[in-house]
Amino acid sequence: MKDLKGTKTEKNLMEAFAGESQARNKYTYFASKAKKEGYEQIAFIFSETA
């Protein structure tokens, strides 16, 4: 396998990973908030999406 260091592919992978990681954190946060506010079904959907 070729070394990806310093390539456009490496940059794209890092950006994609960062975006997906942020999305997961947001879904997890909103699941927690929904659960605290009594929206169990909404919390479940956010958790499953995360």
Provide the domain limits for residue 40.
Answer: 23-49
Tally of domains in the chain:
1
User: Are 27 and 46 contacting, i.e. CB atoms less than 8 angstroms apart?
Assistant: yes
- Domain membership of residue 41 (yes or no) is yes
**pLDDT of amino acid 2:** 80
pLDDT digits (tens, 9 = 90+) for 1-50: 689 999 999 999 999 999 999 999 999 999 999 999 999 999 999 999 99
- Domain membership of residue 16 (yes or no) is no
Q: Rounded to two decimals, what is the model's pTM?
A: 0.79
**pLDDT of amino acid 31:** 98
- Domain membership of residue 13 (yes or no) is no
Distance CA 4, CA 24 (A): 25
**pLDDT of amino acid 1:** 66
**pLDDT of amino acid 47:** 98
Please report, as a single letter, which amino acid is at residue 44. F
